[in-house]
Amino acid sequence: MYRRHLFKLAALPLASFALTLSGWRPLRADAMFRDLFGDDRLAAGLGRLYQQQDPQAGRRGLSLVAELASIEPSARERRLLARRQTELAALDVVTIDGWVLARSEADLCAAVHLDGELA
């Protein structure tokens, strides 16, 4: 249950990915893009890779989840998007498995991965 809740939070900043993918009708590159971020296992997969690169990533992601849990649910997405935009503007990005992600996006992926390990 907690894991599902966690993923929902993780999915928020990745909403643009999901939106992106839903609008994408690839003919040749479909295997690469299909359901990449519409599936928590894939988010966890990215999180696992990132956790290997940066062992603190999952902890940061869980802290972010806790921070979000403390604010009004309707404000969570806005908060995450603002944070992501700030990070992107500051080039505070990490590249995991080729995807260029804002750090908080990657941290949340790592949190999804950690939650799976803990479960």
Partner 1 sequence: MIRELDERDGAGPIEADLCIIGAGAAGITLAHALRDSGLEVVVLEGGGLEIEADSQEIYEGEIVGLDYYPIDTTRLRYFGGSTNHWSGRCMKLDPIDFRKRDWIPHTGWPIKREELLPYYDRAREVIGLEINLEHDEFWEHFEIEPPGFDPAKLVKNTDQKHPTRFGEVYREELEAAEHVTVWLHANVLEIGTNAEASHVEELAVKSFKGKEVTVRAKAFVLACGAMENARLLLANRKTEPHGFGNRNDVVGRYFSDHAHMPIGDIVSADPVKLLDAARRQFQDGAEFIPRFSLPEALQEEFGVTNAACWLVNELAPSDGITAATELIERMRGLEGRPPLTDSAWRVMVNIDDVAVAAWQRFVQGKKTVQEISYVGLFGCTDPVPNPDSRVLLDEEDVDMFGMPRAVLDWRLTAQDHVSLRKLAEVVGAELARTGLGRLKLHDWFMQEPADDWMMRFHESPEAERLSYLDWISNHNIGTTRMADDPKQGVVDANGKMHHVDNFWIAGSSVYPTSGSAQPTFTIVAMALRLADHLKQQLA
CA-based torsion, 57, 60, 64, 70: positive or negative: positive
Question: Are 44 and 37 within 8 A, CB to CB?
Answer: no
CB of 28 to partner 1, least distance (A): 6
CB contact set of 88 (below 8 Å; sequence gap of 6+): 102
Of 52, 43, 1, nearest to 18 by C-alpha is: 43
23 binds partner 1 (CB under 8 A): yes
Q: How far apart are CA 84 and CA 40, in angstroms?
A: 19
Q: Which of 102, 106, 109, 112 binds partner 1 (CB under 8 A)?
A: 102
Tell me whether residue 7 or residue 17 sits nearer to partner 1 (CB atom). 17
CB of 45 to partner 1, least distance (A): 14
CB of 78 to partner 1, least distance (A): 15
**Residues lying near partner 1 in the complex (CB under 8 A):** 16-17, 19-29, 32-33, 36, 84-85, 88-89, 91, 93, 95, 97-102
